[in-house]
């Protein structure tokens, strides 16, 4: 009987594909592969291939991502097994795929090293990547959770129901591989971007695609808004979302550490640029009062910038992204976000000098409609030399720095400022001293001999009684 990959795909049943997968993967469980692609290539390079998406990711798939050398593809030449260690057949980000490649074009009587340099391998690799990405795209298209069933027949709807939730399952298992592909494979970056899924401020816990996001963009919206952080719950409380939420803009939530690296490579999609809403450059339409507000708060912004001279703040500006929060700290467009700073600081071999450079400029943005900011403006106009006012402004800045996701450079100084503020609210004198603790003499420790003599004797058990 012919090998499965040599047969006509129309003649192979699902059960036969599943049985062959379990044999290939040495996995004899009940889980079927998520999907597969069985195809032939003709022309200058001829080969047959059968690719599978496993039901689960290996437990060490990403732990050994850059160190693992073993391929999950077996290479045959004219039905003769050659090797399963041809890493060049698929890029690393698709290394989770399992399958067979059988070529009639590659030579048989050459060493493995010479075969690896054969020009036909590049052609095979290119076609395998295209077919693999098409296979994953079709998995999404066949999932009723991803696309509408309105134009499907009853039989088609019934068949699709069996694949309900399949792409979400794929994304949970292998989504990081898609992101790594966008980082590593510039040629297929746009194809891979179509496979991205994420939660957003309007997704109600469901995964959505970039195409779905664009279909919901407001009229006149030019950028794709996103925010990075450690969790969805944290991002939902972010002050950076206040005006965006109020004006009904949708914001993508990126919560995987690799997302920070991803967005350094994914600059745009379908002619729409990406905008991190925690960075400079956020545009939400023109504010007719902005010029007057800048003039009204100019004395405060100039004074505050000078008061924070040692904090590394580049400027103090009027914000267009705040509603309920007094102020936030934003970074320059090409600098690290607060989330990226934390990721880099956690690296064992991180370079402190590089961190200082990549941190970029920080800007304190103030909410001109907030009572705290308006009161600060009035106080500065009355007495700009007040040390108490400078301490208050510094405390407000440190609080904004922390709420914006940054680590405080001096937590002890911040804590001292909080305690001084608490003392003032309790009408305590700034010079109020801490009460001294009374010294109490500890009793002498008895000698070890007397303590040992007082120890009770333990009952001895006869071994025969146990």
Q: Are 257 and 275 in contact (CB under 8 A)?
A: no
Q: Which of 151, 149, 178, 150 is nearest to 161 (CA)?
A: 149
Three-state SS for 226?
strand
Instruction: State CA 118 to chain mean position distance.
Output: 38
Q: Which of 335, 342, 339, 328 is nearest to 359 (CA)?
A: 335
Binding residues for ATP: 112
Structure tokens at 447: 């000698």
Burial 382-415 (b: 16+ CB within 10 A, else e): eeeeeeebbebbbbbbbbbbebbbbeeeeeeebe
Binding residues: 112
* Terminal Cα distance for the chain, rounded: 68
Estimate the crossing angle of helix 166-184 against helix 257-265, to 10 degrees: 50
Structure tokens at 320: 């267009």
Sign of CA dihedral 205, 207, 210, 214: negative
18 CB burial (10 A radius; 0-12, 13-18, 19+) = middle
């Amino acid at each position: 009987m012919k090998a499965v990959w040599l047969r006509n795909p129309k003649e192979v049943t699902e059960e036969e594909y599943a049985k062959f997968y379990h044999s290939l993967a040495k996995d004899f469980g009940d889980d079927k592969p998520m999907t597969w692609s069985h195809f032939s290539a003709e022309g200058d390079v001829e080969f047959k291939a059968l690719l599978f998406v496993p039901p689960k990711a290996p437990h060490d798939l990403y732990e050994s991502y850059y160190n693992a050398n073993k391929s999950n593809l077996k290479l045959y030449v004219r039905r003769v097994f050659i090797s399963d260690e041809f890493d060049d057949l698929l890029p690393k980000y698709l290394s989770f795929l399992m399958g067979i490649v059988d070529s009639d074009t590659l030579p048989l009587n050459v060493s493995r090293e010479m075969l690896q340099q054969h020009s036909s391998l590049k052609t095979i690799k290119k076609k395998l990547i295209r077919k693999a990405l098409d296979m994953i795209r079709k998995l999404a298209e066949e999932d009723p959770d991803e696309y509408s069933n309105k134009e499907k027949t009853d039989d088609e709807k019934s068949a699709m129901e069996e694949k309900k939730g399949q792409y979400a399952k794929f994304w949970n298992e292998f989504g990081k591989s898609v992101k790594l592909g966008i980082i590593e494979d510039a040629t297929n970056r746009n194809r891979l971007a179509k496979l991205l899924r994420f939660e957003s401020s309007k997704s109600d816990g469901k995964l959505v695609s970039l195409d779905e996001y664009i279909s919901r963009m407001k009229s006149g919206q030019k950028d794709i808004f996103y925010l990075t952080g450690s969790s969805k719950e944290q991002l939902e409380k972010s002050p950076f979302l206040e005006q965006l939420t109020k004006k009904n803009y949708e914001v993508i939530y990126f919560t995987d550490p690799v997302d920070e690296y991803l967005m350094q490579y994914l600059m745009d999609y379908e002619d729409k640029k990406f905008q991190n809403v925690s960075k400079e450059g956020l545009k939400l339409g023109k504010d007719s009062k902005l010029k007057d507000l800048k003039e009204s708060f100019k004395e405060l912004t100039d004074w505050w910038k000078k008061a924070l001279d040692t904090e590394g703040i580049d400027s103090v500006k009027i914000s267009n992204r705040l509603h309920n929060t007094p102020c936030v700290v934003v970074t320059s467009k090409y600098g690290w976000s607060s989330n990226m700073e934390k990721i880099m600081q956690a690296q064992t071999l991180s370079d402190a000098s590089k961190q200082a450079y990549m941190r970029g400029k920080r800007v304190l943005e103030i909410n001109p409609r907030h009572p705290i900011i308006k009161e600060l403006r009035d106080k500065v106009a009355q007495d700009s030399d007040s040390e108490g006012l400078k301490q208050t402004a510094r405390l407000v800045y440190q609080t904004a720095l922390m709420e914006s996701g940054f680590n405080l450079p001096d937590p002890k100084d911040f804590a001292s400022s909080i305690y001084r503020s608490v003392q003032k609210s309790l009408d305590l004198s700034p010079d109020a001293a801490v009460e001294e603790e009374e010294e109490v003499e500890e009793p002498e420790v008895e000698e070890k001999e007397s303590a040992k003599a007082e120890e009770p004797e333990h009952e001895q058990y006869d071994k025969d009684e146990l």
